[in-house]
Structure 1
Amino acid sequence: MTATVAEVTDQEIARRLTSAEVSNLSVARALGVPWGRVDEVRRRLGLATYRRGRRVPETTWQEAVRRRVREVPGGHADWTGSYHPNGTPILSWRGRAQTAYQAVFRLHYRRPPQDNISHSPECDRERCVAGEHLEDRVLREQRRSREAGGVR
């Protein structure tokens, strides 16, 4: 059942107007309300006017990573950023590029990865970027040691 225009509250409109990156038109269409009403709420909130193509730059690479990771059911995470033509998720920030796996790994484990990053055996989602589902050489060796019953 779709809400009528009268049922949509200004609070619902305000929740959709999260930043200057969200257009009045996209909110109006999503909620089925007039563009002018959304504009009125934007002005009351003191939000900057939406400008097509305008993007607020992230101040840290951690913010850039978090902004591009979307958690999904099952503890997995999808990358909403760019992809290399070979399908690898890529983080480009301030003229530097690295795989999303490297960026997420560094953020999650608070250290740079040692050698290649792979998915843990428990993760069956292709291109998952959940930090706890990624492992480098050190984590792989630790896991294999535990599985073999020994401790290195």
Structure 2
Amino acid sequence: MARVMVPVVTDQEIARRLTSPEVSNLSVARDLGVSWGRVEEVRRQLELPTYRRGRRVPESTWQEAVQRRVKETSDGHAEWTGNRHPNGTPLLSWRGRTQTAYRVVFRLHHAREPEGNITHVPDCQVEHCVAGGHLEDRRMRDRRRAAGDAR
């Protein structure tokens, strides 16, 4: 009688499949042919949050919330994939607070609160771009105009 060799699945292989809290233990166990309990143990060792079916794991910071909703483009711009106001302005709601994505991205990129309205720098002609370096506030506009760039 011939012996069937069963491939050994390492904890590292299980860990590679547990790429995020949005991957279930059961799906990894089925794909690899191991027990659910073994996958759960590896998840615990990695300190990954428990999978919750049908519920997205909430972001823990504004930065995480932005990163989940921004798609970088090959030409240096950033496309917003999240919610929008009816006028097209990108909106971000996080922990019960809603702000324009422009204000949040500006704050993260420039490490300060914006002053006045957020607009795009003159060189960025992409409507609703949310790349941090393409956004400016009143202080930056005033400084640019004082330097002689009237755009």
Give the TM-score taking structure 1 as reference length.
Answer: 0.68
Quote how far apart the aligned CAs of 1:37 are.
1.8
Return the alpha-carbon distance in structure 1 between the equivalents of residues 76 and 35 of structure 2: 36
- Asked if 2 retains the 8 angstrom alpha-carbon contact of 1:119 and 1:133, the reply is yes
- Asked if 2 retains the 8 angstrom alpha-carbon contact of 1:108 and 1:132, the reply is yes
Q: Secondary structure in 1 aligned to 2:113?
A: coil
Return the alpha-carbon distance in structure 2 between the equivalents of residues 74 and 65 of structure 1: 19
Return the alpha-carbon distance in structure 1 between the equivalents of residues 105 and 82 of structure 2: 12
- Asked if 2 retains the 8 angstrom alpha-carbon contact of 1:115 and 1:136, the reply is yes
**Number of residue pairs aligned between Structure 1 and Structure 2:** 133
Letter in 1 for 2:85: H
Q: Secondary structure in 2 aligned to 1:82?
A: coil
Pick which of 66-75 and 126-135 moved more: 66-75
- Asked if 2 retains the 8 angstrom alpha-carbon contact of 1:88 and 1:99, the reply is yes
Quote how far apart the aligned CAs of 1:81 are.
1.8
Return the alpha-carbon distance in structure 2 between the equivalents of residues 76 and 41 of structure 1: 44
Alignment of 1:60-139 (within 5 A): 60-139=61-140
- Asked if 1 retains the 8 angstrom alpha-carbon contact of 2:14 and 2:42, the reply is no
Return the alpha-carbon distance in structure 2 between the equivalents of residues 13 and 99 of structure 1: 39
Give the TM-score taking structure 2 as reference length.
Answer: 0.69
Quote how far apart the aligned CAs of 1:134 are.
0.3
2:6 matched to which residue of 1?
none
Q: Secondary structure in 2 aligned to 1:73?
A: coil
- Asked if 2 retains the 8 angstrom alpha-carbon contact of 1:77 and 1:128, the reply is yes
Structure 1 residue runs without a partner (length 5+): 1-10, 28-34
Return the alpha-carbon distance in structure 2 between the equivalents of residues 17 and 48 of structure 1: 11
1:36 matched to which residue of 2?
30
Structure 2 residue runs without a partner (length 5+): 1-11
- Asked if 2 retains the 8 angstrom alpha-carbon contact of 1:14 and 1:41, the reply is no
Return the alpha-carbon distance in structure 2 between the equivalents of residues 54 and 80 of structure 1: 19
CA RMSD, Structure 1 to Structure 2 (Å) = 3.3
Return the alpha-carbon distance in structure 1 between the equivalents of residues 144 and 33 of structure 2: 54
1:146 matched to which residue of 2?
147
Check 1:140–1:52 CA distance in 2 against 1; reply closer, same or farther (3 A cut): same
State, as a whole percentage, how many aligned pairs show the same letter. Answer: 62
Q: Secondary structure in 1 aligned to 2:148?
A: helix
Letter in 2 for 1:97: T
